[in-house]
Structure 1
Amino acid sequence: MPLPSLDSLESILAIVVVFSLLVLVHELGHFLLAKRAGILCREFALGMGPKLFRFKRGETEYTIRALPIGGLVRMAGEDPELDVLKPRMELAVQLDEAGRVTRLILDPKQWNSPSLVRGTVVHYDLEQKLSLTLETAGEQTRYAVHPQAQLVLAEQEIQIAPLNRQFRGKSVGQRFWTIFAGPAANFLLAFVLLALLGLLYGVPSNEPQLGEVRPGGPAAQAGLLEGDRVLSIEGRPVARWQEIVDVVSRSPGETLTFVIERGGAQHSVEVTIGRNEQNRGQIMVYSAITYSPWAAVKYGAAATYEYTALILTSLGMLFTGTYGLEELSGPVGIFKMTGEFAQQGLEILIRWAAVLSINLGLFNLLPLPALDGGRLAFLGVEALRGRPVDPQKEGMVHFLGFAFLMLLILVVTWNDLQRFIFTG
C-alpha cells in the first residue's frame, strides 16, 4: 500500500516543520539552561549528519545538518579534538599585551609571523591553572593562558574550556536542570500549542449549553437548537456538560425528556437517543465554545496533563506486555500520520504536534542509557555516592544504550513498512 500522505508538497512541508519544531525546542531547552549555568556551548545543531549551513555568533556555532532527524547541543568537555595537545609537541603561541597566551597554533604552516613565540611544550594546564610552559633555546618560560584562548588546528579554531566552563565542572543541580530542560521544553511547547488551539478555535465549555447541532441528528430531529441551556434530563437537574454526556451515553435507543431554557422561557423536549458504533448513546450535538485567553490557558494546561496521563498509561501497557512491539510506530509511521493530519487541517495538525511533543518529552525522560533520563539517572547515582561514576564506564553504558535504541528503531521501522507498504 502506498504512503498516501507523502504525495503532496503540503504534507512533506508539514512533516519537516513539525519535526524541526519539536527538535529545535528540545535542544533549545538544553542550550538555554547550559548557557545560564555558564557552560561553553560549542555547537547548536538542528538535524544530524553533514553540515549544510553554519554561522558562528559569540562562542557558539549554529548549524543545520543534512538529515532532518534529531539535533544536538555540543558542550565543552565533550571534545576529543582538544586532546591533540601533548608534552614535547612543538607549537607557536600568540600573546596579548598582558603576556597571556591567546592562540595556540599547531600547524607549522602558520608559524611565519614574527610576533609568534615558538617552543616545545613542557607542561600545560588548560582546565584549572590555565598555564603553559614552553622550552625555547634551552630556556623554559611559563605563560598564563587566556580563559578564551583559541587552539588552532589547520584552519579550524577551537576555544579552550576551563573546568568551570565545562559540563562536568558544574554542580549536580546545574547539570540536572541542563539535561531536564530539554524534555521540559517539549511539555512547554505542547502547552503553548494547545493553548493556541483554544485561542484560535475556542475552548469547549462545561456549561450545560448546546453548541453546534448536527443537521439530521437526534437533537435536531427533536427540535433542540444551538444556544439552548439544558436544565434537567428526566427530572434530574443538570449543572455541567459532562453530566449530559454521561446520561446520553448510557441511554442508547431511549426517549428522554429534556427541560431546556430558550429565550428566557422553559420548554420540555422529548429526545430519542441515537446509537453510535460502540453501542453508546449520542444526540449529535457539541458543547458550546468559549473564546477567552484565560480559558485557552486553562485548556492548554488541562489538555497537556490529560495527554501526558494517557501516554503514560500506554507506556505502562507496553512494559506490562498488554501492547507488543508490533503495535509501535517508528519514524515511517509517525511521518505518515503527520502527513495525513496535515491534510485534515491546521487544527488537527497543531493538536498532533502537541501530542508528539509530549511523547518526545516523556520518551527522553525514560531512565534508559543514551536518553536524557539515563543521564539523569547517573546524576542521581552521583548525588547518592557523593562522587561521579567513572566517565569511561558511563560512556560505555550510553554507547550500548544507543546501540539498543538503534536496534529498536529498526524493529519498529520494519513494523511500519509491513503495516503501510507490504500489507493491503
Structure 2
Amino acid sequence: MSVLAAIAVLAILILVHELGHFIAARSQGIYANRFSLGFGPTLLKYQGSQTEYTIRAFPLGGFVGFPDDDPDSEIPPNDPNLLRNRPILDRAIVISAGVIANLIFAYLVLALQIGIVGVPQEFQFQPGVIVKPINEQSVAYQAGIRSGDIILSVNGKELLADKSSPLLLTKEIQSHPNEQIQLQIQHENQTKPLTLTPTESPDGKGLVGIELVPNGKAIYRHPQNPIEIFTVAADRFQQLLIGTVKGFGQLVTNFQETASQVSGPVNIVKIGAKLAADNSANLLSFAAIISINLAVINILPLPALDGGQLAFLLIEGLFGKPLPAKIQEGVMQTGLVLLLGLGIFLIVKETTQLDVVQQLIQGL
C-alpha cells in the first residue's frame, strides 16, 4: 500500500503541474484541446465541449495539448486564440504556470502538514548518527554500512546525544584520507565494530560516501494560530527551495561526485514508500519536496522542458521574431529523446537494484 501511496503522490504532482498549464490557457481564452494524465494506452476518456480528457496507463507523466500542434484541427491558423498567435507574455504565463502551480502546491502541503502534525519545537537527540550510503559503490556500502545504521563511535570517540555529533563524525572522516578509521555500528539492534578507509577527494579530504542524519526525533507543539502555520510553512518552503536550487547547482559545478545521487522514478517511489511505511504524515513532506524538485527541473533552460520553451520566447522577445519552426522542433525533439533515454536508463538501473530483483537474479 505504501508503494501505491507514493505513486499516487507522484500522479497528483503531475496533475497539479498540468492543471497549471491548462488553467492558465483556458483563463486567457486560449484553446487547449487535450488534457492527459499519464502516457501510453488510454484507460478512460471524456470529450468535453473544447477538450478531450484522458487517463492513461502510465501515471508518471502527462501533457496539455494545443490545436496549434494538431494537423487535423479545424481552427483557422490565424485564430487569435491559438497559443502561437498570442503575445509573448500570454504564452510565457501558460508555459510557466506548471512550475508556479507546483511551487504553490508545495507551500500549501507544508502548511497542511504543520497544521496536522504541529510546529517543531525542539529536537530530542539520542546517541550516535544515522547514516545512509549514497550508492552501492561507495566506501561505506562496500564496508558493510546500510541505510538506517547508527554510528555510535569513531576512532574511540563516542558520538553523544548532541547536535554536534554529525560534525564530529564528518571531521574524523575528512581528516583521515587513505587511513583506516574504526567505527562502532548499530545495525538492526546489534552492535558491531567496523573498519573502513576513506578515499581522498580532490581537495585532500577523506570521503566514504554517506549521508548523515542526527539520531533523534522532533518534538512538536500545536500551532498558536493560522498565521503561525503559514509563517512556519513559508520558512520551511524557503529552506527546501534554496536547498534544491543549490543541489542542482552542485550537479552542474561538481557533476562527477554528485551525478551518482540522481534518482529516477523507481528510486523516488521507493523513497516515498519507505516514508509512508514509517509515518503516513511523511508523505506530505515527500510531496512538498518532490513538487519543488519538479518545479526547479522544469524551469531549467533545457529542451523539451518548460524552461526550454521560455528560452525560445526570450530569444523571440530579444530579436523580435521567433526562431524558425524547424530549428525549434529539432531542438525539442532532440531534448525529448535525451530525456526519455535518461529516464529509461534510470528506470532499468534502479529496477535491477531492487532487493526482489536482486534475489531473482541470484536465483538464476
Using the size of structure 2 for normalisation, the TM-score is 0.70
Instruction: Give the distance between the partners of 2:88 and 2:60, measured in 1 at CA.
Output: 29
Question: Judging changes above 3 Å, is the alpha-carbon distance between structure 1 residues 81 and 286 closer, same or farther for their aligned structure 2 residues?
Answer: closer
* CA shift digits 1:375-399 (9 cap, x unpaired): 0000000000111111121011100
> Identity percentage over the alignment?
32
Decide whether aligned partners of structure 1 residues 40 and 318 sit closer, same or farther in structure 2, where only a CA change above 3 A counts: same
Name whichever structure is richer in helix by fraction.
2
Matched, 1:126 2:76: yes
Quote the residue 1:335 is aligned against. 269
Say yes or no: does 1:385 pair with 2:319.
yes
Q: How far, CA to CA, are the matches of 1:283 and 1:362 in structure 2?
A: 30
* Structure 1 match to 2:36: 45
Offset at residue 274 of structure 1 (A) = 5.0
- Mark the CA change 1:379 to 1:284 in structure 2 (over 3 Å): closer, same or farther: closer
Q: 2:304 is matched with which residue: 370, 381, 384?
A: 370
Q: Secondary structure at the match of 1:305?
A: helix
Tell me by how many angstroms 1:16 deviates: 3.0
Contact map agreement 2:117 2:220 (CA 8 A) in 1: no
Aligned equivalent of 1:33, options 1, 7, 24: 24
Q: Which has the higher strand share?
A: 1
- Residue number among 416, 419, 423 corresponding to 2:350 in the alignment: 416
RMSD: 2.9
- Counterpart in 2 of 1:301? 234
1:289 equivalent among 216, 221, 239: 221
Shift of 1:328: 1.4
Corresponding residue for residue 83 of structure 2: 167
The one-character-per-residue Cα deviations of 1:77-107 (angstroms, maximum 9, x if unpaired) are 110223xxxxxxxxxxxxxxxxxxxxx8xxx
Match of 2:248 in 1: 315
Q: Which amino acid aligns with 1:387?
A: K
> Cα 1:212–1:77, aligned 2, differ >3 Å: closer, same or farther?
closer
Q: Which consecutive aligned stretches of 4+ in structure 1 deviate over 4 angstroms post-superposition?
A: 211-214, 272-277, 279-288, 421-424
1:66 aligns with 2:57: yes
Supply the AA of the counterpart residue of 2:257.
Answer: Y
Aligned partners of 2:60 and 2:220: how far apart in 1?
40
Structure 1 gaps, min length 5: 1-9, 83-103, 105-124, 129-161, 206-210, 219-251, 254-271
- Look up the equivalent residue of 2:81 and give its one-letter code: R
- Looking at structure 2, the residues matched to 273 and 409 of structure 1 have their Cα atoms a distance apart, in angstroms, of 41
Q: Which amino acid aligns with 1:357?
A: S
Q: Which amino acid letter does the alignment assign opposite residue 76 of structure 2?
A: L
Report the Cα distance in structure 2 between the residues aligned to 1:66 and 1:296, rounded to whole angstroms.
Answer: 38
Asked if 1:189 corresponds to 2:105, the answer is yes
SS at match of 1:49: strand
Q: What displacement does 1:285 show?
A: 7.8
SS class of match (1:68):
strand
Where 1:62 maps in the other structure, the secondary structure is strand
**Aligned match of 2:66:** 75
Q: Distance in 1 between matches of 2:4 and 2:358?
A: 27
Of the structure 1 ranges 381-390 and 319-328, higher mean CA displacement relative to structure 2 is found in 319-328
- In structure 1, the residue matched to 2:120 is 204
Relative to structure 1, the CA distance from residue 287 to residue 11 in structure 2 (aligned partners, 3 Å threshold; closer, same or farther) is closer
For 2:244, the aligned partner's letter is I
| TM-aligned CA distance change 1:126 to 1:284, over 3 Å | closer
Secondary structure of the residue that 2:350 maps to in structure 1? helix
Residue aligned with 2:313, SS: helix
Letter in 2 for 1:347: A
> How far off its partner does 1:365 sit?
0.6
Structure 2 stretches lacking a partner, 5+ long: 128-156, 170-213, 360-364
Shift of 1:67: 1.3
Q: Decide whether the 8 Å contact of 1:197 with 1:296 is kept in 2.
A: no
Q: Flag the 1:274–1:175 CA change in 2: closer, same or farther, 3 A.
A: closer
C-alpha separation between the residues in 2 aligned to 1:185 and 1:277? Answer: 39
For normalisation by structure 1, the TM-score amounts to 0.61
Report the 3-state secondary structure (helix = DSSP H, G, I; strand = E; otherwise coil) of the residue aligned with 1:364: helix
